[in-house]
Amino acid sequence: MSPLVALKTYMCLSCKPDAYNNVLAELLRLNVPKDNMFLLLGPWDVLVQFTGLKDMNEFIEKWFNPIRRIGTKEALITKSMTLIVIHEGPSYVEEPFAFLFLNTQPRNLENLQSALLKVPEVISADTVFGPYDLIVAIRVNDRADMEPLISHIHKSVPGIEGAMTSIVASIRI
């Protein structure tokens, strides 16, 4: 019998303009750990990470259904996307500066993840089911450091076919 592996998922949320504080407050009310919520500057407003799940039913009942109902009258959440982790990279305790959402050919997933994890500024790289193939957390001091890092990753890590970057903003509720 193989050992039970905990499930990890992400939810990306787009919020109605000026509603992200209300959405973050509702996530906290649902007992989402603040350390697992990231306010993003990019196409998605909020990224939420769920770890240690025993199965998909737990994710759906405990997190997915309650979150999708946040502010239904006011339509606080305008769009959501769920990503299910296939192979988890290292866990991290420090807040990333940004997340890279990457696409690759299916045959390149493991090699791309392995190559990314050799880049010192890469905190973690999870392969996922969804419209993206990997979610990569990076640490840099500021935007000036981020631009050469992303350029370095694109030039030195083979197999990246598409990328979207979102900078993490400080959560102040």
Q: What separation, in Å, do the N-terminal and C-terminal C-alpha atoms of the chain show?
A: 45
pLDDT for the residue 5: 67
Q: In angstroms, rounded to a whole number, what is the distance separating the alpha carbons of residues 39 and 46?
A: 5
pLDDT for the residue 2: 46
Could you tell me the domains of the chain?
7-85 (3.30.70.920), 87-169 (3.30.70.920)
Segment holding 122, helix H or strand E: strand 122-129
Strands 77-87, 46-53: parallel, antiparallel or unpaired by DSSP?
Answer: unpaired
pLDDT block averages, 10 residues each, the chain of length 173: 72 92 94 93 94 94 94 88 94 90 95 96 95 96 93 94 93 66
Q: In angstroms, rounded to a whole number, what is the distance separating the alpha carbons of residues 67 and 11?
A: 9
Distance of alpha carbon 19 from its chain centroid, rounded?
20
pLDDT for the residue 73: 80
Residue 124's identity, in one-letter code, is S
pLDDT for the residue 77: 94
Cα 164-165-167 angle, rounded to 5 deg: 155
Q: In angstroms, rounded to a whole number, what is the distance separating the alpha carbons of residues 137 and 55?
A: 24
pLDDT for the residue 92: 83
